Structure 1
Amino acid sequence: MKNLLVILTLLLTIESVFADELLLSVGGGAQPNSGQSNKTYGIDYSFGKFEKSYRQHIHFGVSYTKVEANTINHNSIYAVSIYPQLNLYPRQYSWGQPYFFVRALGPSYISGNQLGDRHQDNHFSFQAQVGYGVRLNWRSKEDMILMVSWKHFSNANLFTDNDGIDMPLVVNFGLNF
């Protein structure tokens, strides 16, 4: 009986465990403390979600980010990241759900150690992203997502060279399946 209860509980919660969100991103802007400007595009897939309450959700996902700088040398890198993302909702569900989100300490592989005048000691970095999002009702449920954020890559001073790589404005658009 106990095993049956555990299996039933897992089956009832399995829909809330799998997030299945796909997001496309584009953005860029001036690199702080530098003369360069960066632009970015990418794709994120959120494959898991834990709902602590209706106000707090933790998502887990993978991300591909391409970054280009307006420089002659070392003008392009890409990053592949795994991320946790904390979503904080101000109220219960309605026609559209606004939220604040933070991605922090997402381990990342970056393809190059230099982007323009920005230097990283090696190919290991972290993805950080902070912003505002909204889930909009499209097909009778909150399945359309729009996010605006700041995205950053650095090695958190774990290594000697740690010039952060920033994209001050990133817009993500996607769907929750």
Structure 2
Amino acid sequence: MQKNNLNEVSALVLRLLAIIISIFFFQQAAANELLISAGGGPQPDSPQTNRTYGIDYSFKKFEKSHRQHIHLGVSYTRVETDTQENNSFHAVSIYPQLNLYPRKQSWGQPYFFVRALGPSYISSNQLGDRHQDNHFAFQAQVGYAARINWQSSEDLVVMVSWKHFSNANLFSDNEGIDMPFVINVGLNF
């Protein structure tokens, strides 16, 4: 009975994500940033090594000041591990991202960023020896980035970060899935 309830919750979350993504894609975008990502590394507290690649699209930007920007975006992530069974999953996420800039803009604007509590649908609730209770998780990512002047504006974006998926202890099984080193490269257009 509990498994059926969890499947219903997962289906509901997936439908909500699809509705939210479609609403935001059909709105006029205030920010357009497209990034590709790749990375991986050892899973803490586990003998497995995880790898990832994906694509992110930030479609909204809210400037609180020249030092604080909030981005909203969607993300597709593929995660693989080096185990024989349960060795991959796909994740679709919606994320808020806070960018903190140390100074006013210059030739290449460095910044610190945090993505937290990005609701995600993961296609499998197990990756190697890591277990999640169901297909609902949150994406978290923290790192350092820079917008680099290219063709007379800050068009190029480079990010280095740590990426994590877990359900924030909302459900009983919550062994986080980590990629300790991820590089995102893309364009701001």
Shift of 1:139: 1.0
The residue identity in structure 1 corresponding to 2:141 is: Q
The residue identity in structure 2 corresponding to 1:129 is: Q
Q: 2:17 aligns to what?
A: none
Q: 1:76 aligns with which of 88, 93, 97?
A: 88
Can you give the 5+ residue segments of structure 1 that lack an aligned partner in the other structure?
A: 1-14
Pairing 1:89–2:66 present:
no
Q: What pairs up with 1:45-84 in 2 under 5 angstroms?
A: 45-84=57-96
Write the distance in 2 (CA, Å) between the matches of 1:143 and 1:83.
21
Q: What pairs up with 1:129-168 in 2 under 5 angstroms?
A: 129-168=141-180
SS of match in other structure, 1:157: coil
Q: 1:44 aligns to what?
A: 56
Q: 2:46 aligns to what?
A: 34
Write the distance in 2 (CA, Å) between the matches of 1:24 and 1:115.
22
Q: 2:184 aligns to what?
A: 172
Larger Rg: 1
Shift of 1:81: 0.1
Q: 1:119 aligns to what?
A: 131
Write the distance in 2 (CA, Å) between the matches of 1:55 and 1:143.
18
Q: 1:9 aligns to what?
A: none
Percent pairwise identity? 76
The residue identity in structure 1 corresponding to 2:187 is: L
Q: 2:34 aligns to what?
A: 22
SS of match in other structure, 1:48: strand
What CA RMSD, in Å, does the superposition of the two structures yield over aligned residues? 0.9
Shift of 1:18: 1.1
After TM superposition, the score normalised by the length of structure 1 is: 0.90
Write the distance in 2 (CA, Å) between the matches of 1:122 and 1:113.
5
Shift of 1:83: 0.2
What CA deviation, in whole Å up to 9, does each residue of 1:55-98 have, x standing for no partner? 00000000000000000000000100000000000000100000
The residue identity in structure 2 corresponding to 1:68 is: E
Q: 1:3 aligns to what?
A: none
Greater helix fraction, Structure 1 or Structure 2: 2
Shift of 1:19: 1.1
After TM superposition, the score normalised by the length of structure 2 is: 0.85
Write the distance in 1 (CA, Å) between the matches of 2:103 and 2:143.
17
